[in-house]
């Protein structure tokens, strides 16, 4: 499915998924109408039964033959209604999981195409919640509409017609009561839904606070703040409790108003007119039973439907909220005529590139730079000087404002994003892993890697030894984001992935920053082999790790203020030399190797 085509309004969104299974939905609806038939035709059969019985004289021997029709009608109705209920349930059981899976997968697929920037601004947890909210609320809306509201509407129509057949005034009383009843429920429902929203918001704030508190359990322990934390949370708990009460209290008020209308309309007026008509002899005893029973059933149905109306509005609100993640356009899309990137040499060129995260933040202005084929370039500069941004632009995590970035002469904005990122192996500053097994995480670099490839890559990245020692070896689950591994171990897994990926362009963003100098030295040797014949960009704070670079670019506030080899830059005695001298104060045991 091309997720881009997902509709942006709620009715269109629902219809988009329902129409794929419209036959099943139609069957569910058809059989769900059994409820309406059940509640209106039973009293009708009862009426026939009573009218027949009351006509029988003292000799009751003919009763069975006289009652044949209503008895058979009753048996048939009973069986048909039972079968219909079961069929409706079965078809619903068939279609709901399908539509839920369609919606969930389409939404996940769409959201995963959002840009790097989108995920920097939105919590993954809240996006996942919205997707599951949409699935759950869609299910309850479908159930409410198909199994409650539409059958109630049909029952009302049938009852009105049957009443009118007896006496038009009964139909008139029923319809008038219904209009007032519906008016009251609609008037209250909007507010009910609003109060439920307010409560839901306060509940989710409370849940967020509890999660934050539990996540920071170490801080609580460290500062002995258990009591403080409980006091802090109880503020939010009180707010939630108050809003819950307001929402429930309002529903009670609605029930009160509905109760009065029902008592007057269905209770007093209808029953008085029914008894009055019987007294006048214009209706039979059977008809009294029919009218009494039907209006009772209809009152119950309308009552249940009215109570569920706020839920319907609330669920629609939830779905609208969830739909916002689909309404937000995908920021970075492949050009319509995008072709796959072909890397022959690996030359990276920035041509008059201007880029800002925020207006006037001045990250890059008119930047021109070429990284030659197979060149090893080091990027240095203080934290926040734009090194990672430089790499993010090459990966097209962001689009440039002006200018172009070319790889082997091809504008990266005009090639497919998949092909671009396939040609680049990045070892990121903060390596994060999936909560899957170690081997699954490693294989992410190259899905077709054999076990031997994996062992060899792990060995090269000095990750084999610790991997084998894990409780379940390669099959050990690494924890959320890889939390069960140390920072340095995670980095080595990221390096292993890059080795397996075997891409012509290699980027190391502080790839060895979390390692001790002995392990770092071991890996540096493997990385040197990996860099052979590839265009390589290495970002490092420890300047000694850049000793083997062909060129070093010195970043300061988004500008490249110096460039040259390590020796040239020292001779220049500028920013780089200052940084080097600061680090040479004993932080770097191996700096003399440079």
* Residues 98-117 interacting with ligand ATP (rule: CB under 6 A): 117
Helix (H) or strand (E) holding 224: none
Closest CA to 390 of 500, 538, 522: 538
Return d(Cα 278, Cα 265) in angstroms, integer.
19
- Binding to ligand ATP by CB under 6 A, coded x per residue (else -) over 341-360, reads ----------------x---
Part in contact with ligand ATP (CB under 6 A); list of ranges 340-348, 383-391, 402-410, 447-455: 383-391
Q: Which of the choices Mg ion, ligand ATP, none does residue 381 contact, using the CB cut-off of 5 to 8 A by kind?
A: ligand ATP
Return d(Cα 29, Cα 24) in angstroms, integer.
9
Part in contact with ligand ATP (CB under 6 A); list of ranges 83-91, 324-332, 381-389, 453-461: 381-389
CB atoms within 10 A of CB 547: 16
Beta partners for residue 506, in sequence order: 425, 536
Interface with Mg ion (CB under 5 A), residue total 2
Q: Which of the choices Mg ion, ligand ATP, none does residue 487 contact, using the CB cut-off of 5 to 8 A by kind?
A: none
Regarding 120 and contact with ligand ATP (CB under 6 A), the answer is yes
CB nearer to Mg ion: pick between 429 and 476: 429
CB nearer to ligand ATP: pick between 389 and 526: 389
Return d(Cα 365, Cα 173) in angstroms, integer.
77
Q: Determine which residue in the list 388, 410, 496, 536 makes contact with ligand ATP, applying CB under 6 A.
A: 388
At closest approach, how far in Å is the CB of 179 from ligand ATP? 56
Helix (H) or strand (E) holding 523: helix 517-531
Return d(Cα 416, Cα 336) in angstroms, integer.
9
Q: Determine which residue in the list 181, 387, 497, 566 makes contact with ligand ATP, applying CB under 6 A.
A: 387
Q: Which two tokens stand for residue 577?
A: 């030399």
Return d(Cα 550, Cα 256) in angstroms, integer.
82
Question: In angstroms, what CA-CA distances link 267 with 103, 243, 254, 259, 298?
Answer: 45, 34, 18, 10, 12
Closest CA to 478 of 427, 487, 455: 487
Closest CA to 288 of 266, 267, 271: 271
Q: Which of the choices Mg ion, ligand ATP, none does residue 592 contact, using the CB cut-off of 5 to 8 A by kind?
A: none
At closest approach, how far in Å is the CB of 487 from Mg ion? 15
Helix (H) or strand (E) holding 544: none
Q: What are the backbone angles phi and psi of residue 266, rounded to the nearest 5°?
A: -80, -30
CB nearer to ligand ATP: pick between 115 and 372: 115
At closest approach, how far in Å is the CB of 555 from ligand ATP? 6
* Residues 356-385 interacting with Mg ion (rule: CB under 5 A): none
CB nearer to Mg ion: pick between 84 and 392: 392
Question: How would you class 574 by CB atoms within 10 Å of its CB: exposed for 0-12, middle for 13-18, buried for 19 or more?
Answer: middle
CB nearer to ligand ATP: pick between 65 and 120: 120
Part in contact with ligand ATP (CB under 6 A); list of ranges 186-194, 241-249, 384-392, 458-466: 384-392
Interface with ligand ATP (CB under 6 A), residue total 13
- Which string of DSSP letters, residue by residue, matches 226-266? HHHHHHHHHHHHHHHHHHHHHHHHHHHHHHHHHHHHHIIII
Q: Determine which residue in the list 277, 385, 462, 489 makes contact with ligand ATP, applying CB under 6 A.
A: 385
DSSP single-letter state for residue 546? G
Name 124's Cβ contacts closer than 8 Å, sequence gap at least 6.
Answer: none
Return d(Cα 122, Cα 331) in angstroms, integer.
14
Part in contact with ligand ATP (CB under 6 A); list of ranges 29-37, 193-201, 223-231, 377-385: 377-385
Q: Which of the choices Mg ion, ligand ATP, none does residue 357 contact, using the CB cut-off of 5 to 8 A by kind?
A: ligand ATP
Q: Which of the choices Mg ion, ligand ATP, none does residue 386 contact, using the CB cut-off of 5 to 8 A by kind?
A: ligand ATP
Helix (H) or strand (E) holding 587: none
- Binding to ligand ATP by CB under 6 A, coded x per residue (else -) over 406-445, reads -----------------------x----------------
Part in contact with Mg ion (CB under 5 A); list of ranges 93-101, 165-173, 421-429, 445-453: 421-429
CB nearer to Mg ion: pick between 155 and 560: 560
**Helices and strands, counts by H and E, the chain:** 22, 10
CB nearer to ligand ATP: pick between 191 and 429: 429
CB nearer to ligand ATP: pick between 286 and 386: 386
Query: In 53-182, at which residue ranges do the beta strands (DSSP E only) sit?
Result: none
Give the pairing of strands 551-556 and 376-381. Answer: parallel
Q: Determine which residue in the list 43, 310, 386, 445 makes contact with ligand ATP, applying CB under 6 A.
A: 386
Return d(Cα 264, Cα 256) in angstroms, integer.
13
Q: Which of the choices Mg ion, ligand ATP, none does residue 120 contact, using the CB cut-off of 5 to 8 A by kind?
A: ligand ATP
At closest approach, how far in Å is the CB of 513 from ligand ATP? 9
DSSP single-letter state for residue 329? P
- Binding to Mg ion by CB under 5 A, coded x per residue (else -) over 429-468, reads x---------------------------------------
Regarding 388 and contact with Mg ion (CB under 5 A), the answer is yes
At closest approach, how far in Å is the CB of 388 from ligand ATP? 3
Question: In angstroms, what CA-CA distances link 193 with 64, 133, 314, 385?
Answer: 54, 16, 5, 49
Part in contact with Mg ion (CB under 5 A); list of ranges 290-298, 318-326, 422-430, 494-502: 422-430
Part in contact with ligand ATP (CB under 6 A); list of ranges 385-393, 448-456, 544-552, 569-577: 385-393
Q: What are the backbone angles phi and psi of residue 403, rounded to the nearest 5°?
A: 85, -170
CB nearer to ligand ATP: pick between 245 and 357: 357
Q: Is 141 helix (H, G, I), strand (E, B) or coil?
A: helix
Q: Which positions touch ligand ATP (CB under 6 A)?
A: 117, 120, 357, 363, 381, 383-389, 429
Interface with Mg ion (CB under 5 A): 388, 429
């Amino acid at each position: 499915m091309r997720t881009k085509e997902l509709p942006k309004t709620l009715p269109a969104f629902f219809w988009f998924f329902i129409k794929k299974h419209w036959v099943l939905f139609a069957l569910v609806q058809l059989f769900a109408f059994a409820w309406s038939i059940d509640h209106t035709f039973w009293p009708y059969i009862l009426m026939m039964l009573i009218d027949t019985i009351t006509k029988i004289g003292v000799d009751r021997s003919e009763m069975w033959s006289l009652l044949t029709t209503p008895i058979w009608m009753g048996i048939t109705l009973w069986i048909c209604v039972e079968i219909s209920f079961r069929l409706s349930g079965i078809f619903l059981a068939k279609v709901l999981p399908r539509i839920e899976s369609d919606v969930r997968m389409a939404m996940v697929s769409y959201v995963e195409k959002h840009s790097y920037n989108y995920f920097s601004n939105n919590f993954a947890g809240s996006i996942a919640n919205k997707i599951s909210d949409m699935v759950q609320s869609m299910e309850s809306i479908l159930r409410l509409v198909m199994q409650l509201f539409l059958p109630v509407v049909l029952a009302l129509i049938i009852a009105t017609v049957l009443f009118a057949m007896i006496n038009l005034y009964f139909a008139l009383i029923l319809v008038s009561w219904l209009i007032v009843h519906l008016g009251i429920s609609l008037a209250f429902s909007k507010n009910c839904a609003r109060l439920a929203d307010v409560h839901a918001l306060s509940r989710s704030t409370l849940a967020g606070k509890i999660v934050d508190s539990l996540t920071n359990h170490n801080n609580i322990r460290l500062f002995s703040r258990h009591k403080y934390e409980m006091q802090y949370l109880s503020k939010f708990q009180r707010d939630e409790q108050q809003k819950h009460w307001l929402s429930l209290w309002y529903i009670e008020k609605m029930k009160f108003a509905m109760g009065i209308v029902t008592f007057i309309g269905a209770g007093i007026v209808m029953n008085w007119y029914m008894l009055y008509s019987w007294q006048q002899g214009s209706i039979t005893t059977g008809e009294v039973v029919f009218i009494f029973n039907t209006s009772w059933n209809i009152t119950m149905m309308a009552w249940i439907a009215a109570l569920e109306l706020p839920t319907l509005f609330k669920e629609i609100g939830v779905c609208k909220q969830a739909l916002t993640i689909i309404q937000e356009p995908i920021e970075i899309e492949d050009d319509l005529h995008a072709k796959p990137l072909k890397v022959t040499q690996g030359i990276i060129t920035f041509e008059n590139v201007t880029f800002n995260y925020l207006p006037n933040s001045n990250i890059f202005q008119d930047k021109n730079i070429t990284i030659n084929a197979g060149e090893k370039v080091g990027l240095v500069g203080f934290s926040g000087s734009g090194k990672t941004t430089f790499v993010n632009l090459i990966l097209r995590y962001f689009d440039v404002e002006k200018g172009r970035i070319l790889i082997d002469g091809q504008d990266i904005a005009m090639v497919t994003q998949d092909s671009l990122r396939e040609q680049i192996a990045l070892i990121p500053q903060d390596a994060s892993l999936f909560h899957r097994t170690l081997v699954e995480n490693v294989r992410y670099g190259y899905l077709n890697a054999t076990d031997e490839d994996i062992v060899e890559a792990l060995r090269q990245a000095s990750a084999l030894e610790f991997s084998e020692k894990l409780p379940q070896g390669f099959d050990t689950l690494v924890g959320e984001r890889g939390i069960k591994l140390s920072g340095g171990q995670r980095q080595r897994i990221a390096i292993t992935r890059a080795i397996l990926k075997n891409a012509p362009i290699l980027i190391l963003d502080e790839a060895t920053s979390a390692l001790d100098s002995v392990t770092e030295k071991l890996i540096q040797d493997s990385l040197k082999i990996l860099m052979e014949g590839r265009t390589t960009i290495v970002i490092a704070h420890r300047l000694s790790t850049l000793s083997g670079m062909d060129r070093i670019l010195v970043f300061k506030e988004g500008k490249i203020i110096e460039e040259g080899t390590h020796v040239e830059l020292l001779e220049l005695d500028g920013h780089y030399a200052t940084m080097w001298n600061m680090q040479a104060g004993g932080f770097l045991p191996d700096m003399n190797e440079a």
